[in-house]
Chains A and B, each alone.
Chain A
Amino acid sequence: MLATDKPSTLKQTPLHALHVARGGKMVPFAGYDMPVQYATGVLKEHLHTRAAAGLFDVSHMGQLTLRAKSGKLEDAALALEKLVPMDILALAPGRQRYAQFTNKAGGILDDLMVANFGDHLFLVVNAACKDEDEAHLRAHLSDTCIIETLPDRALIALQGPKAADVLAKFCPEAPAMKFMDAGPHQMNGIACFVSRSGYTGEDGYEISIPNDQAEALTSALLNHPDVLPIGLGARDSLRLEAGLCLYGHDIDTTTTPIEGGLNWSIQKSRRTGGARAGGFLGSDRILAELDGGAPRKRIGLLPEGRAPVREGVLLFADANSTESIGSVTSGGFGPSLGAPIAMGYLPNAQAADGTTVFAELRGQRMPMKVSPMPFVPHSYKR
């Protein structure tokens, strides 16, 4: 009942030794050997993050900078706007924004964070997509921009209601930052990039650290009594409760940002009638769906029983119908809710909150209710 095979060609983050020393159970993830949990266990790691502060190693993610050859930030912003449906030009210095790289068909190549660091843009992309993202940026923007990857930097996240108190001792400016503020900050004398953001629905920070100082700073944070190291298992259950998409599962090249329910991330200036409407890859389809609706959408699902309903499970309109109408893209158990939760795609006709649909699980049809997300309210410091 257990699989233990492990490829031997896995990459390691600068914090690998720290994970092993702290009892991390290491598994392959996006080409890296990463901790799925520590001795604490997924359930307690999840609950600890919601109650105090959890520390995550996300150094496998890609960090890049984008600079205009002209030296003007607005030229880099306008260049990036060719590849994302977001308003990057209006992104103020010291601010960060959620974005998606789209393709010509309107599908999503990756989702990412973009921050304005004054004279350049700082991007954080998914581990599994980072090489393709870099190639995509170079293919489209090399004539006007200098693209640099930052493999010499680690990335950690400190998440939870005590994160600000913990960080105050290391970085006095941190508590005054607002949700999605981002920029360079000294932390224990180390030159870091700090943003008030994360992937748990909790208040918290992401901190980019030079590789050679990553272990020292991370250890210092972990020495705080409110902080525990948290593995990928709880990272997944936390983001699922927060209703946040996992790229490659809930969104991918077959889903548009509108189907994915990411309309909120597309600013007015890029929509029909806006100052810089369209002009990004896939804009025809994406703007048409913004104006007229998409045929299906990403929805939250609450199984009525106790059985978790996981990725890939097919959804049906009723208990006997033979044609599936959608599928679950992420699902599991929500420790903070003490109940199973899922997200998936359904046609508009069945996507209204409160609609009952049926999941086919081990040959049985299990009722599930379409539910608003997030399942657990966000507690961002806006």
Chain B
Amino acid sequence: MTTLYTEDHEWLLIDGDVVTVGITDYAQSQLGDVVFVELPKVGRALKKAEAAAVVESVKAASDVYAPITGEVVAVNDALAAEPALVNSDADSKAWFFKIKIADKSELEGLMDADAYKAHTA
């Protein structure tokens, strides 16, 4: 399994043809206390760069974009019930949704951990 990153501060954990998507620890630290998360419906067809979920802090709302084209195959209901998970465990427990990858070539150009670290430095 590989983890890749977008310039919009989403992470992608790739497991075969399914990718799990969340926002990075850097992103949560910039957002502050998360109080609401809205997730896409399972079965929704997402296009790359389309707004797929919403994450809201006390202060503001931000979109989470689909990093890749595909169908939503699972969403994290535990996160919707406890949005503060984004702040406490952005990299793991606070995953947002899983997409079945339509076109693997869209993964090209995403950053690896070192490149993402440089991106946020």
Contact = CB atoms under 8 A, between A and B. Distances in A.
Interface in A19-64: 36-37, 41-44, 46
The SS class assigned to the A binding surface is mixed
Given A2-B62, A333-B56, A306 B33 contact: no
B59 A42 contact: yes
Pick from A41, A333, A362 the residue with the most CB of B within 10 Å. A333
Interface of A: 1-2, 36-37, 41-44, 46, 233-234, 236-237, 306-308, 310, 332-333, 335, 340, 362
B58 interface: yes
Contacts of A333: 35-36, 56, 58
Contacts of B35: 43, 308, 333, 335
Given A1-B27, A1-B64, A362 B54 contact: yes
A41 B33 contact: yes
State the 9 A-B residue pairs at the shortest beta-carbon distance, nearest first: A43-B33, A333-B35, A42-B58, A1-B62, A233-B59, A333-B58, A2-B30, A41-B33, A1-B8
A333 B59 CA distance: 8
A233 B9 contact: no
Number of chain B interface residues as a range: 20 to 34
Interface residue SS majority, chain B: strand
A237 B32 CA distance: 14
B59 A1 contact: no
Contacts of B30: 2
B80 to A, nearest CB: 8
21 contacts: A1-B27, A1-B55, A1-B62, A1-B63, A1-B65, A41-B33, A43-B35, A44-B33, A46-B58, A234-B58, A307-B36, A307-B38, A307-B54, A307-B56, A308-B36, A308-B56, A308-B61, A310-B61, A333-B36, A333-B56, A340-B36
A2 B7 CA distance: 10
B68 interface: no
Contacts of A43: 32-33, 35, 58
Contacts of B65: 1
